[in-house]
Structure formats: C-alpha cells, structure tokens
Amino acid sequence: MRAIYSFFALLLALITYAQCQQTAEEWYDRGVDLSMQGNYEEAIQAYDEAIKLNPNLAEPRYNKAQALSRQGKYEEAVQAYDEVIKLNYNPAEVWYNKGVVLYYQNKFIEAETSFDKAVEINPQFAKAWNNKADILNRIGKYDEAINASGKAIELDPTIAEAWYNKGNSLLQQGKHGEAIEAFDKAIELNPNYVEALANKGGSLEQLGKYDEAIQVLNKAIELNPNIAESWYTKGVALLMQGEYNEAVQAFDKTNEINPNIAPAWYNRGVALAKLGRTEEAEASIDKAKELGLTG
C-alpha cells in the first residue's frame, strides 16, 4: 500500500512539474506576442512569470533582456544578459547583444570586451567584428580598428557600416584617398548613408577637391540638414574657393545647430574679414577664443 502511495505521489509530482513547464512556456509565448506588439512592459511581466515557474529556461531571460534594451533600461538589460550568460544559452549572440547595450551607455571598454567574447566564441561573427571596429575608432586605436573592420568585410562585404568604419579609421590617419574608396563602398551599399557622405566630403576637402566635396556634402545635407559637421566642412570648402558669402552662410548653419564648434566661429570670422565686415569678424573670432581655440 505504501509503495502504491509512493508511486502516485511521484506521478503527481511529475504531472505538476509538467504543468509548470507548460505554464512557463505559455507565459513565454505570451511575452513573445506582447513584444511583437511593442508592449514591452507587459512582455517583461510575462517573461518574469515564466522565469518564476522555471528559472532554468533561458529564452524568457534572453527576451526579457531584449525588451529592457528596447525600453532604454540598459543597466537592467545588462543584468538580464548576465543571467542568460550563466545558463550558457546562445553565448556568442548574448555577448554581442550585451556589448550593444554597453555601447549605448558609452561604456566602450566594457563593450569591446563583450564583442571580444562574441568573436572568441564565433570567429565568423561579422557584426561583432564591425562593432569592435567602431569602438576602436572611438578610442583612437585606428590600426586595430582597420584590422577589425577588415575582418568584418572579409566575412560579409555587404555590411555598409564596416566599410564606413574602415573609411573613418583611414580618414583619422590622414589616408584620405583610401578613406574615400572605403566610403564609396559604403555609399554603394547604402546610397543614403549620411555619415559616409559627410566623411567622404571631409576627405575630399582635405585633398583640395573643393567642388567635389561641396557636391557630396550637399547630398549629405539634403538627406539630413541637422548635422553641424556637414555644414562646417562645406563652409571650409567654400572659404578655400573664395566664396565668402556662401561660406558665412554655411558657418551660420553650423553654429545654429551646434554653437560650440570653435573652428566654425573662427573660419566665419576669416570669411567676414575677407568681406570687409571687420567688427563682425572680430566678434566671431573672439567667440572662437572663448570656446578655447588657440593659436
């Protein structure tokens, strides 16, 4: 009799466990549906219910981390990704997504570490190599950045951002001809790549190809008129061509968008001086000095 009781107790426990499993999966499915609808707060609640019922299910934790990230709750998202990492679920992808969240927080060194883990687990992870290149550019490690973006391009030459990152590294090293070639590849893949157009314009201006630079920068400005650097570089090209009125207008747009770019105020002063507008020129140059421009 005791053996029969033990058997039914075990059977009941197995049935209860199976029901919990099923219920956890149902909560997870509900969370997925809510996430697809953009209802991230409710989705997170559903994932939490699934996690309560079965703490060893990785998928609800992973989707919870993604939902938190989409809400801009980056600290919580990092914690959630760390919990997923402990479960060893889809590790390369999880390390990559953790890196993206850290990148959004401007925690570039930590983000680089996460992308390193992603490519260590999966050396064919082109997007992780590309994001690593972006970070290396931001911290001034241009040779390493070129190697990382080159690896991304080797794995997937259709990633426009990888060509852009390579171009950016080359631009920072003063290799403007090579930079233009890389930006051209990015633009070929994405004709509306504003940053690539703007940086190509910058390299053309540095090479003294002012007409070409202005043409490219006009395209960038047409796509997004709110990037101060595009207007600034256009202003410099116009100034170098002796188009002083147009240069002043371009620097005015630069200062309207971002009044803290000292060289824009200085070059505006130079253009105004060329036009004989001495008092305005002096005021503009004084503003540049106030912002910290020396020399």
- The 10s digit of each residue's pLDDT in 197-233 is 999 999 999 999 999 999 999 999 999 999 999 999 9
In angstroms, the CA 239 to CA 256 distance is 18
State whether residue 106 is helix, strand or coil: coil
Q: Return the amino acid letter for 74.
A: Y
Q: Provide Rg for the chain, Cα atoms.
A: 27
The model's confidence at residue 179, banded by pLDDT at 50, 70 and 90, is: very high
C-beta separation of 136 from 145 below 8 A = yes
Output the pLDDT for position 5: 42
Residue 16, H or E segment? helix 2-36
Of the residues 178, 209, 240, the one at which a domain ends: 209
For the segment 73-80, the average pLDDT, to the nearest whole number, is 96
For the segment 104-112, the average pLDDT, to the nearest whole number, is 96
Output the six-digit token pair for 245. Answer: 């009125």
Same domain, 153 and 216: no
In angstroms, the CA 142 to CA 132 distance is 11
Q: Work out the mean pLDDT of the chain and round it to a whole number.
A: 92
Output the pLDDT for position 9: 42
State whether residue 64 is helix, strand or coil: helix
Same domain, 242 and 276: yes
| Predicted structure pTM score | 0.85
The model's confidence at residue 295, banded by pLDDT at 50, 70 and 90, is: low
Same domain, 184 and 246: no
Output the pLDDT for position 19: 43
Closest CA to 168 of 148, 189, 154: 148
Buried b / exposed e across 165-194, counting CB within 10 Å, b at 16+? bbbbbbbeeebbebbbbbbebbbebbeebb
Q: What is the DSSP letter of 90?
A: S
Q: What is the DSSP letter of 107?
A: -
Longest dimension (CA), the chain: 110
Same domain, 97 and 186: yes
- 13 or 24: which carries more pLDDT confidence? 24
**What does residue 227 show for φ and ψ, rounded to 5 degrees?**
-100, 110
Same domain, 227 and 82: no
The model's confidence at residue 293, banded by pLDDT at 50, 70 and 90, is: confident
Same domain, 215 and 202: no
Number of domains in the chain: 2
The model's confidence at residue 40, banded by pLDDT at 50, 70 and 90, is: very high
Whether the predicted pLDDT of 145 surpasses 90: yes
First to last CA, the chain: 98
Of the residues 147, 179, 209, the one at which a domain ends: 209
The model's confidence at residue 150, banded by pLDDT at 50, 70 and 90, is: very high
Whether the predicted pLDDT of 163 surpasses 80: yes
Same domain, 185 and 232: no
In angstroms, the CA 279 to CA 275 distance is 11
The model's confidence at residue 18, banded by pLDDT at 50, 70 and 90, is: very low
- Under 8 Å CB-to-CB from 211, ≥6 apart: which residues? 241
Of the residues 190, 209, 228, the one at which a domain ends: 209
Same domain, 50 and 139: yes
Q: Say what angle helices 160-172 and 176-189 make with each other, to 10 degrees.
A: 160
Q: CATH number of the domain that 163 lies in?
A: 1.25.40.10
8: containing domain? 2-209
Same domain, 69 and 167: yes
